[in-house]
């Protein structure tokens, strides 16, 4: 599990224990910044001051520290080519009904950290709260950012198009998607908490990603999905429970799925802890438990639905309707599993 996984499990008790986890809960975790020149610090308390600070930094280095809660009237565009750290001191940024928080297109490097984003007024299901499409694929770090919606589960927390995006220690609550990578590669998504999403926790279409140590609960359809082009990724040490259809779905080739713990589907439709319809994947050391045991619907610990030359080794699947099911895929290698 990732380096801060124990901290994540600890804060779940706070999340579950808080009555109506809403905008009143903010967990301040391990502030981090990027090594190297930092530049001048700009304390800001309004949207216009944030934009003025970005202009002042230009293509140089600078820190923007948000000191007060801010209700946005426009998107904060990060397009000046500079090296920025944008951070809060317990600050909340509130989005309007059709309003992104950040649109990132041109930066030498960027860290956004220790900020809470209130999306309870957002009315557009397809709105990307933080939109990342950095033209030159320079590194973007999103750390300890909390994106909080409401019971309508509307909006996408992070929408990633460019390469080299690092997401850690974040909290996503009551959105449609928490993280959607629609292109790009080499995303590092680790030690995050995703709770109550309308469709999916982490959706991947890019290659060579690292997904580790995330806690994903109460998802409308799936926990993690690598789509057909999302190959050469590592999905490891994630904890996923209460999902409708797939804990993890692997539709791409040549991925490693290792050490994940998946339990308790929502008994709404046919479901699988791990569902594979790609090829040359390695499924090793995972645990799948209590999938579809309360209804007449089918439930599978691990299901190989299609593809070829997948390897299933050393997994444990207990108390499921079916521990393992191969629907006719070609040359599946199965060995050393505990299937009961």
Q: What is the pLDDT of residues 45-70, one digit of tens each?
A: 999 999 999 999 999 999 999 999 99
C-alpha to C-alpha distance for 38 and 2, rounded to whole angstroms: 27
| In the predicted structure, residue 325 carries a pLDDT above the cut 70 | yes
Between 16-25, 223-232, 289-298, the lowest mean confidence (pLDDT) is in 16-25
| In the predicted structure, residue 32 carries a pLDDT above the cut 80 | no
Identify the domain containing residue 144 by its residue range: 5-339
The pTM for the full model equals 0.89
CA neighbor of 249 nearest in space, from 282, 271, 269, 226: 226
C-alpha to C-alpha distance for 157 and 181, rounded to whole angstroms: 11
Higher pLDDT, 6 or 136: 136
For residue 198, give the DSSP letter.
E
Rg (CA), the chain: 20
- Provide the pLDDT for residue 328: 86
C-alpha to C-alpha distance for 26 and 5, rounded to whole angstroms: 18
| In the predicted structure, residue 263 carries a pLDDT above the cut 70 | yes
| In the predicted structure, residue 8 carries a pLDDT above the cut 70 | no
| Mean pLDDT of the 239-257 span | 96
- Provide the pLDDT for residue 162: 97
**pLDDT range class, residue 36, cuts 50, 70, 90:** very low
| Mean pLDDT of the 230-247 span | 96
| Mean pLDDT of the 190-200 span | 97
Share of the chain above pLDDT 90, in %: 80
At residue 95, φ and ψ (nearest 5 deg) are -90, 150
Higher pLDDT, 31 or 55: 55
Q: Which residues contact 206 (CB under 8 A, 6 or more apart)?
A: 160, 163, 181, 182, 183, 184, 185, 186, 187, 229, 230
In terms of average pLDDT, the best of 12-26, 112-126, 284-298 is 112-126
Q: pLDDT averaged over the chain?
A: 89
- Provide the pLDDT for residue 204: 98
Share of the chain above pLDDT 70, in %: 88
pLDDT tens per residue, range 108-161: 999 999 999 999 999 999 999 999 999 999 999 999 999 999 998 999 999 999
Q: Which CATH number is 225's domain given?
A: 2.160.20.10
- Structural domains in the chain (count): 1
- Provide the pLDDT for residue 264: 87
| In the predicted structure, residue 27 carries a pLDDT above the cut 60 | no
- C-alpha dihedral (167, 198, 174, 16), degrees to nearest 10: -90
């Amino acid at each position: 599990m990732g380096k801060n996984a124990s901290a994540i499990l600890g804060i779940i008790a706070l999340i579950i224990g808080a009555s109506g986890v809403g905008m009143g809960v903010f967990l301040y975790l391990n502030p981090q910044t990027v090594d190297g020149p930092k530049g001048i610090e700009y304390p800001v308390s309004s949207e216009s001051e944030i934009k003025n600070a970005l202009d002042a930094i230009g293509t140089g280095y600078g820190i923007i520290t948000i000191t007060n809660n801010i209700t946005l009237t426009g998107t904060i565009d990060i397009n000046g080519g500079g090296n920025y750290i944008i951070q809060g001191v317990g600050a909340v940024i509130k989005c309007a009904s059709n309003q992104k928080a950040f649109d990132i297109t041109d930066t030498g490097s960027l860290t956004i950290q220790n900020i809470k984003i209130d999306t309870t007024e957002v009315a557009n299901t397809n709105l990307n709260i933080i939109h990342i499409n950095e033209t030159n694929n320079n590194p973007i770090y999103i750390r300890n950012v909390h994106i909080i919606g409401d019971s309508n589960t509307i909006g996408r927390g992070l929408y990633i198009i460019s390469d080299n995006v690092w997401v850690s220690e974040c909290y996503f609550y009551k959105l449609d998607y928490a993280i959607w990578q629609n292109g790009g590669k080499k995303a590092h998504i680790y030690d995050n908490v995703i709770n109550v999403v309308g469709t999916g926790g982490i959706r991947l279409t890019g290659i060579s990603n690292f997904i580790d140590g995330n806690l994903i609960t109460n998802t409308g359809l799936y926990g993690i999905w690598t789509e057909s082009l999302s190959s050469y990724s590592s999905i490891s040490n994630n904890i996923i429970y209460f999902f409708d259809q797939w804990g993890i779905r692997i539709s791409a080739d040549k991925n490693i799925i290792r050490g994940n713990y998946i339990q308790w589907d929502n008994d709404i439709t046919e479901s699988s802890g791990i569902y594979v319809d790609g090829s040359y994947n390695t499924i090793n050391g995972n645990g799948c438990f209590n999938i579809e045991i309360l209804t007449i619907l089918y439930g599978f610990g691990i299901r190989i639905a299609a593809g070829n030359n997948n390897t299933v080794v050393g997994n444990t699947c207990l108390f499921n309707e079916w521990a393992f099911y191969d629907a006719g895929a070609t040359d599946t290698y199965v060995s050393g599993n505990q299937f009961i």
